[in-house]
Amino acid sequence: MFVASENDTVYAFDADGGATLWQRSLLGAGETPSDPRGCTQVQPTIGVTATPVIDRGAGPNGALFVVAMSNGGAYHQRLHALDVTTGAELFGGPAEIAATFPVPGGATRTFDPGQYAERAALLLTHGTIYTAWTSHCDNAPYTGWIIAYDEMILAQTAVYNLAPNGTGTGFASAGPAIWMSGGGPAADAAGYIYLLTGNGAFEPTLNAQGFPLLGDYGNSFVKLGSGGTSIGVADYFTMFNEVAESQADQDLGSGCCCRI
């Protein structure tokens, strides 16, 4: 049995006898788990929040993939791959999570590791680890990041932002964050990814294909297609009253989805 804590420690226990088989701190030298970032949802510290994922065929014994947040004078989000038998770091990890994304019109969004939490469970599909990011409470600014990594070398393969313009402070103009109630995105056999976004920016003005003109998908059920080095929205569903719902801090759903 594997247990990951908000103190940035992962444990492996014998499920029959309860003995500790190994434990591994995910903190770098001189680091501590993050403070709660002015939010009461995860306190007093933030370390590992998202449910890890295991690939029994990766590495010599199988690998457990886990995201950990820490603070060493600057905030860090890192993707670790741990040997399930020994707890040792695999594949040259951990990988520091960083990302940028172009905004329609020429600007660029930069991922701020202190501004986000990895709350939704990790998704592993077709050799890729997908991370999905939420805010600390509704503390703006925040947008809707999906960041993907090759599971065998921990190299970033794709980045997508589901609301690159959603940096405002109001419920209808911020985000949207990807909460999922801790549940993870789902994937089908073809590699499509399914998730829910929280309340936030959405453009009622659509392009010729029926997608939001500026690429903001607040309060939406989203189907993402992945081409290995890119992610894009293949389809989506949004409530007819999305703007009103977001202004009232109401969400389409609390979680998603059934594992396929």
Indicate the pLDDT class of residue 6, thresholds 50, 70 and 90. very high
Q: Is the pLDDT of residue 247 over 90?
A: no
Give the range among 115-119, 138-142, 247-251 with minimum mean pLDDT.
247-251
Give Cα separations from 219 to 68, 140, 158 (angstroms): 27, 17, 23
How many CB atoms are located within 10 Å of the residue 18 CB? 8
- For residue 119, the SS3 value is coil
- Parallel, antiparallel, or unpaired for β 123-125 and 128-132? antiparallel
Does the residue 203 lie in any domain? Answer: yes
CA 135 to CA 179: how far, in whole Å?
Answer: 8
pTM: 0.93
Is the pLDDT at 199 greater than 80? The verdict is yes
Please enumerate in sequence order all residues whose Cβ is within 8 A of that of 101, keeping only pairs 6 or more positions apart, or say none.
108, 109, 111, 143, 145, 159, 160, 161, 164
Domain assignment present for residue 175? The answer is yes
116 in the Ramachandran plot: left (φ > 0), alpha (ψ -120 to 50) or beta?
beta
pLDDT of 244 higher than 90:
no
Say how many residues make up the chain. Answer: 260
Q: In this structure, what are the phi and psi dihedrals at residue 245, rounded to the nearest 5 degrees? A: -60, -45
Instruction: With a cut of 70, say whether residue 259 has pLDDT above it.
Output: no
Give the C-alpha separation, 231 to 227, whole Å.
Answer: 6
Mean pLDDT of 44-62: 97
Q: Does residue 177 lie in a domain region? A: yes
**Mean pLDDT value of segment 33-53:** 97
Domain holding 92, by residue range, is 2-247
In a domain, 258, yes or no: no
Please tell me the predicted confidence (pLDDT) of residue 96.
Answer: 98
Can you tell me the distance from the alpha carbon of 198 to that of 221, in angstroms, rounded to the nearest whole number?
Answer: 9
pLDDT of residue 255: 55
Omega within 30 of 0 (cis) for the link into 94: yes
> What pLDDT does residue 54 have?
98
Look at 172 and 6; give whichever has higher pLDDT.
6
pLDDT at residue number 133: 96
CA–CA–CA angle 113, 116, 120 (5° rounding): 120
Domain count of the chain?
A: 1
Do the beta carbons of residue 200 and residue 171 sit within 8 Å?
yes
| Any domain includes 115 | yes
> Do the beta carbons of residue 20 and residue 31 sit within 8 Å?
no
Q: Say which residues have a Cβ less than 8 Å from residue 28's Cβ, sequence separation at least 6.
A: 70, 72, 76
For residue 8, the domain's CATH number is: 2.140.10.10
Q: What is the pLDDT of residues 55-112, one digit of tens each?
A: 999 999 999 999 999 999 999 999 999 999 999 999 999 999 999 999 877 889 999 9
Closest CA to 158 of 191, 186, 134, 116: 191
Query: Please, which pLDDT band fits residue 254 given cuts at 50, 70 and 90?
Result: low
Q: What pLDDT was estimated at residue 114?
A: 98
Q: Is residue 172 part of a domain?
A: yes
Per the domain annotation, does 114 fall within a domain?
yes
Q: Is residue 227 part of a domain?
A: yes
Q: What are phi and psi of 244, to 5 degrees?
A: -65, -40
Which tens digit of pLDDT belongs to each residue from 137-194? 988 889 999 999 999 999 999 999 999 988 877 777 877 889 888 899 999 999 899 9
Amino acid 228: pLDDT: 66
Q: What is the mean pLDDT of residues 242-248?
A: 75
